[in-house]
Amino acid sequence: MLSLIIEVLSRGQGIAKLAFPLNIFIGLALIAIIIIIGTQFRRQAVVRWLSSIPAAVSSISLFAFLVLLQGFIPQNHPAKPGLLTLLGLDHIKNSWIFALSGIYLLISLGSVILRKSIPFRKKNLPFLLNHLGLWIAIAAGSLGSGDLMKLNIYLQEGGSFTSFAYAGDNTAHTLPFSIRLTDFNIDNFPPDLVLVDAVTNTITDGNMLPLTEASSGKMQVFRDWQVTINEFINNAFYIEDNYIRKDSSGAAPAVRISALNKKSGQVTAGWVSCGSTRVQNSILQLGADYFIAMTFPEVQKYSSEVIIRRAGVETDTTEIEVNRPYRISGWRLYQMSYDEEKGKWSEYSILEAVNDPWLPAVYLGIFLMICGAVYLFWTGSGTKIK
């Protein structure tokens, strides 16, 4: 109730993000409150209740209910603030009600951790791993979210060194290192030839014929037709009814095929290409009901070759790709995006630089919880059943 009143009073603006050092103070205050009420007032009914299971169920339920609302109501829809905004329901994770329910959860969880750890007993260890791990992960994750920096670095292929990066609101920041993009690469999966039903415009089930430089001469049967690959060009342009090899920006794969109808003996031949923004696409009609088409090549891997320079430290040349971030002085650099319209001919790359000073604490919490979960897996509920 209290939190709803605050939310309405603040006109649904939610809580401003807590940044250093305020979040440290709040975290310490939280720990102090838990310790003081848990040691000085542990006989009080309210305090005993806070560390009880009903308190746990009620705090988890309240928290879960708010997460449930968040699961149904689209979050962070800007413009026209209505009742949802006023009550904080379209920005739940930053709302007062969520914050207060989180504090209730942390105090309840903290109280029970304290009660179970003094005096320390070995048999309570798994309990403590689970509960303390959760407490640390939630506390560090939420208090630390204000200190999290996520910045985009825009790099042009062959451009100069830069140390500027931009936050979501376009404010510029200076990184403690500078970076230069020497090359941006995309590997594609080979495109496939597929048989399409001309009436429903859907790919018929079954066969696919992957296309690579090595697949010339390969054959594949699609229903009544035997399709042979005559020539495959990875980078082609469409010039005067023909696809011609040309390795430059905007090129698309193209393949010349012939199809033999096994029933009638009729042969149809021609070019097939998925096309691109600069290259016309082509299909090969087979009778009235079907045609052969090429699927767009899907991205297999994209990566940026960069040189990273830091004052007083030697220069490093490295490759950054999805799932392989690069770590440098507290920052992690991620491959984020590129010119999707140009695809493999993209001339720029966007990296994301992330700095999260609270990460070690969150990882400690996660690590404790993993240990606790493994133990739980091993012991189960401890109930004996037939």
Return the number of the residue (56 or 114) whose C-beta is nearest another protein.
56
Question: What mask, x for binding another protein by CB under 8 A, covers residues 85 to 104?
Answer: --------x-----------
Return the number of the residue (16 or 68) whose C-beta is nearest another protein.
68
> Please, what is the minimum distance in Å from the beta carbon of residue 140 to another protein?
11
Find the binder of another protein among 141, 159, 250, 270 (CB under 8 A): 141
> Please, what is the minimum distance in Å from the beta carbon of residue 130 to another protein?
8
Q: Please report, as residue ranges, which positions from 61 to 90 form the binding site for another protein (by CB under 8 A).
A: 61, 63-64, 67-68, 70-75
| 374 interacts with another protein by CB under 8 A | yes
Rounded CA-CA distance 150/165 in Å is: 9
Burial status of residue 14 (CB atoms within 10 A of its CB: 0-12, 13-18, 19 or more): buried
Closest CA to 8 of 88, 74, 62, 63: 88
Spatial neighbors of 161 by CB under 8 A, at least 6 apart, are 178, 179, 180, 307, 309
Reduce the DSSP state of residue 40 to 3 states and report it. Answer: coil
Neighbours of 96 (CB within 10 A): 22
Q: Please report, as residue ranges, which positions from 222 to 281 form the binding site for another protein (by CB under 8 A).
A: none
Helix and strand numbers (H, E) in the chain are 8, 18
Return the number of the residue (220 or 276) whose C-beta is nearest another protein.
220
| 167 interacts with another protein by CB under 8 A | no
Rounded CA-CA distance 209/222 in Å is: 10
- CA 345 remoteness from chain centre: 24
DSSP string, 321-359: ETTB-EEETTEEEEEEEE-TTTGGG--EEEEEEEE-TTH
Q: Please report, as residue ranges, which positions from 297 to 316 form the binding site for another protein (by CB under 8 A).
A: 298-302
| 322 interacts with another protein by CB under 8 A | yes
Return the number of the residue (60 or 307) whose C-beta is nearest another protein.
60
> Please, what is the minimum distance in Å from the beta carbon of residue 38 to another protein?
19
Q: Which residues pair with 194 in a beta bridge?
A: 293
Find the binder of another protein among 80, 122, 263, 384 (CB under 8 A): 384
Give the helix ranges, DSSP H, for 277-336: none
Return the number of the residue (71 or 158) whose C-beta is nearest another protein.
71
Question: Prior bond to 119 cis, omega within 30?
Answer: yes
Number of residues that bind another protein (CB under 8 A): 59
Q: How far is CA 2 from CA 7, 87, 101, 166, in A?
A: 9, 12, 11, 37
> Please, what is the minimum distance in Å from the beta carbon of residue 113 to another protein?
14
| 342 interacts with another protein by CB under 8 A | no
Interacting residues toward another protein by CB under 8 A:
52-54, 56-57, 60-61, 63-64, 67-68, 70-75, 93, 141, 148, 150, 189, 206-208, 210, 298-302, 321-325, 332, 334, 336, 352, 354, 356, 359, 362, 366, 369-370, 372-374, 376-381, 383-385
